[in-house]
Amino acid sequence: MGATATPFASFNSQTTTTSTKDSYRSFSTHTFSTAFRRQPPPPPPSSFRRKPLKLITMAQQQQHLTLAPVNGNGSITAPATTLLFDQQLLQKIADDALVWASLHGLVMGDKSVQRSGTVPGVGLVHAPFALFPTLFPESQWRQACDLAPIFNELVDRVSLDGKFLQESLSRTKEVDEFTSRLLDIHSKMLAINKKEEIRLGLHRSDYMLDEKTKSLLQIELNTISSSFAGLGSLVTELHRYILSRYGKLLGLDSGKVPANNAATQFAEGLARAWTEYNDPRAVIMIVVQAEERNMYDQHFLSAVLRDRHQIAIVRKTLAEVDREGEILPDGTLSVDGQRIAVVYFRAGYTPVDYPSESEWRARLLMEQSSAIKCPSISYHLVGTKKIQQELANPGVLERFLENKGDIAKLRECFAGLWSLDDYDITRKAIEKPELFVMKPQREGGGNNIYGNAVRETLLKLQQAGSQEDAAYILMQRIFPTLSAAVLMRNGCWHKDHAVSELGIFSTYLRNKDRVVMNNQSGYLMRTKISSSDEGGVAAGFAVLDSVYLT
């Protein structure tokens, strides 16, 4: 942030000169399962007391959250305007937020209720969310938004280069069965020269702000089942509501929370793809997991499609597609007697979605049909970690893009990405594992390897002398800025030190040589306690959040 005064949330912690990077590594290892309590947690260790966390001395000695204007170096600029938030006031705001969430459908299935992931309306609980939006520099916000259409175009062009995809993933194929099966389907499509003339992408590019360099760095690019367009939009509305009621008291302006149209934009992309398919008898099919507690995020899009676009929606598992699906003589995909215009995958991105050959037959059947796939098998492969790493290599972007300005913008946001056959980088990762993350070819939370486990895994792979290292990439570990947050889960609030990850949604639709849509389409902010490595909301690591521009 610059020198202009901006609202800032802080806790009653003392100031030291220890670096933010060190605090990110050393803070206590509370997880959400134990940390979300209404009672305040034990005080953080002294190693966590650092400059952004200012103590404001008050006559009353009580637990409080303080919001005060600060300048770029973290100094409070107007102490006279600082406010004391006692437990009672904070509880009032939290209760108000919980009522709003319940009334507006900001909900998920409750894991403690057995049928909550299979029967709609059973066992509902509010989705985890941050009570207040997270500060984010407007310049980096605009940078992330501007990158969206460039990444869309890059995904589309890479998807058309079947040779590049097959060669880049050839070593991974040898050691990763899931990637191998995806590549086999892709190979079959190449063999029959299957053309996807209408191509739809609903993507999300995830970023963090690196504290040391102040750079916006990309974590990953999601091309399949980019979730939380629905619930993420609702959290933005929730935060605007909270600030409209309590903004003057908090010193926060609801107008600095940017609008979030992710749900309507994703629905618009699906609807326009349906229109391009040009069969009014056809429906949109959402491919779902048999058990899905995040179903309401999906139903949000379905409701917009029905209410605004009058398009029928069906939900099918991969196993149901295998049982009920067929390809008609004209290439049309028919499932349970219904013609399918668009297949929207909210499943199929992880090996557990393919427990038998039935699911793989369904994936191949859909790929062979004339239905628009979101994503197609080639778009899916472009989103793998290995392709992300390959695109970061010198000279590779030039293979797909001509605009030098666009190439420079993409490279500016690339974090360090390396193959494990790079001996020098592997050696550095063994010596200083805290500076790296090992990533397998998997989507969803809970898969990455951090800390000493990086060293142990690399040494194990070296000792084994196998080719299994091809199943991983190494990525520069990003140490993001810390902030104070009030996190809500299971009806309880918890104050903690947190880090955030910004996801920018984007929509891309192309029909042959005509680009129908290429837009930045809203955003997703996810916030987690700073001691947590993983960041998935549905996996239980993070909460939904929104952006407060500074």
Contact between residue 488 and residue 126 where contact means Cβ atoms under 8 Å apart: yes
Q: What is the DSSP letter of 85?
A: B
Tell whether 237 is in a known binding site.
no
CA-CA-CA-CA torsion for 376, 382, 385, 387, nearest 10 degrees? 150
Measured CA to CA, the distance from residue 493 to residue 63 in angstroms comes to 13
204 among annotated binding-site residues:
yes
- Tell whether residue 534 is among the known ligand binding residues: yes
Does the annotation place 276 within a ligand binding site? no
The answer to whether 518 is a known ligand-binding residue is no
User: Burial of 188 by CB count in 10 Å (0-12 exposed, 13-18 middle, 19+ buried)?
Assistant: middle
Pure H helices in 310-451: 318-324, 357-368, 377-382, 385-391, 404-413, 423-431
Q: Do the annotations mark residue 222 as ligand-binding?
A: yes
Tell whether 46 is in a known binding site.
no
What type of residue is 464? Answer: A
* Residue 440, marked binder: yes
Strand 283-287 with 313-316, pairing: parallel
Confirm whether residue 21 is marked as ligand binding.
no
Q: Is 444 annotated as a binding residue?
A: yes
Question: Tell me, what DSSP letter sits at residue 441?
Answer: S
- Is 468 marked as binding a ligand? no
In sequence order, what DSSP letters do the residues of 464-502 get, joined into one string?
Answer: HTSSGGGGEEEEEPP-BPPEEEEEEETTEEEEEEEEEEE
Tell whether residue 441 is among the known ligand binding residues.
yes
CA angle 99, 100, 105 (to 5 degrees): 105
**80 marked as part of a ligand binding site:** no
Q: Answer yes or no: is 443 a known binding residue.
A: yes
450 is in an annotated binding site: yes
Is 428 within any annotated ligand binding site?
no
346 is in an annotated binding site: yes
- Tell me if 195 is assigned to a ligand binding site: no
439: annotated binding-site residue?
yes
Q: In this structure, what token pair is assigned to residue 97? A: 């937020």
445 is in an annotated binding site: yes
Cα dist from 51 to 18, 23, 72, 539, whole Å? 8, 11, 12, 32
Q: Which amino acid is at 439?
A: K
Q: Is 148 annotated as a binding residue?
A: no
| 395, burial (CB in 10 Å: exposed 0-12, middle 13-18, buried 19+) | exposed
Would residue 292 be called left, alpha or beta, if left means φ above 0 and alpha means ψ between -120 and 50 degrees?
Answer: beta
Q: Binding site annotation covers 294?
A: yes
Q: Which amino acid is at 75?
A: S
Hey, which residues are catalytic here? 204, 220, 222, 227, 385, 439, 443-444, 526
On whether 292 is known to bind a ligand per the annotation, the reply is yes
Rounded distance between C-alpha atoms, residue 75 and residue 286, angstroms: 50
The DSSP string of 167-223 is HHTHHHHHH-HHHHHHHHHHHHHHHTT---SEEEEEEEEEEEEBTTT--EEEEEEE-
124-126 and 129-130 strand pairing: unpaired
Type of residue at 395: G
Query: Annotated binding site for substrate, which residues?
Result: 204, 220, 224-227, 292-294, 298, 346-349, 450, 526, 537-538
Query: Annotated binding site, which residues?
Result: 204, 220, 222, 224-227, 292-294, 298, 346-349, 385, 439-448, 450, 475-478, 501, 526, 528, 534, 537-538
Query: Annotated binding site for Mg(2+), which residues?
Result: 220, 222, 443
Query: Annotated binding site for ATP, which residues?
Result: 385, 439-448, 475-478, 501, 528, 534
